[in-house]
Amino acid sequence: MVGIKRTEQPGFDVVTGAFSYSGNAIARALIAQGRRVRTLTNHPDRASGDMSVEAHPLVFDEHRLRASLQGADTLYNTYWVRFPHGGTTFATAVANSRTLFGAAAAAGVRRIVHVSITNPALDSPYPYFRGKAEVERELSSCGVAYAVARPAILFGGDGVLVNNIAWLLRRFPVVAIGGRGDYRIRAIHIDDLAALCLDLATREGDLVVDAVGPQSLTFRELLECIRAAVGSGSVVLPVPEHLFPWVTAALGVLVRDRLLTPDEYWAMAKGLADSTAPTTGNIAITDWIAANGDQLGRNYANEIVRHFDRAQTSQAR
């Protein structure tokens, strides 16, 4: 995929969450192209010394957001919540997204590139996917040209899913899997997602694209690939589907985190983490796991600490 470098265009780009996961990959890709980057973030303490990024607070007040976005060329939006926590809900995230898009329109932002999810639907039984569809609807009506990248599962960098599966496989003699594990996932590397987002910023018109890598694996195949890469002797134990969310909930209590929510499991089991769309990424997840097996799962990646518990942020991996 070849994008058009926009180094001659005036202004700067804004990335929500440039010190977090997908936002960090996008910000680094922009900096590599010579772009000036500003971030809206709740975690300025995570700024890296090797990144030149101007940080503004991610406060969902339209006046303050408009001031932070004034003069921006493209807004790359990665803001969302993986699960409700404290006073933050999916409804809160939808309302916050509406405010953000309205501020971008008022500030004269040229284009919004938004990171969503595969298979969102307004009538989805899963609040995460329904909320993502509601955000896409808000985006389409805000009056700014837009592009939507829809990844299913991300890997690479300091991603959570693959690492935490590896962590379990390193520490437990038995690791459970829901049902037969024959539901498929189509993951994309975080750097491939960033490259796609930069490319979408150069396109014309409103676009929606599935962000998917070259491989569609069953979850069991993914688990076996990680097990081989880390040299685990764990037994993979199938658990009846209706019991599996309880197993992950118990593990979540153990690690003081949300390892896998029931909605995430059921959506994956129903095929919502897969896609038949053309490949938009180049890095195969099996190759990446094999190359990084020695490091995977050495530390547990705690989502609650990363995204909600500011007092413990410095302890996050």
pLDDT score for 73: 98
Average pLDDT per block of 10 residues along the chain, 317 residues long: 40 94 96 96 79 93 97 97 88 98 98 98 97 98 98 95 97 97 98 98 97 98 98 97 95 92 95 97 98 96 75 29
Instruction: Measure Cα distances from 85 to 27, 93, 107, 164, 303 in Å.
Output: 27, 11, 31, 20, 11
pLDDT score for 289: 98
Report the top-level CATH class of 12-156+186-211.
alpha beta
pLDDT score for 47: 77
Tokens describing residue 154: 């991300």
What are the sequence ranges of the domains in the chain?
Answer: 12-156+186-211, 161-184+215-315
Task: Give the SS3 label for residue 298.
Answer: coil
pLDDT score for 309: 58
3-state secondary structure 270-289: CCCCCCCCCCCCCCCHHHHH
Contact 250, 313 (CB under 8 A): no
pLDDT score for 88: 87
For residue 129, report the phi and psi dihedrals to the nearest 5 degrees.
-70, -35
Q: What is the DSSP letter of 46?
A: G
Beta partners for residue 238, in sequence order? 177
Q: Does domain 161-184+215-315 have CATH number 3.90.25.10?
A: yes
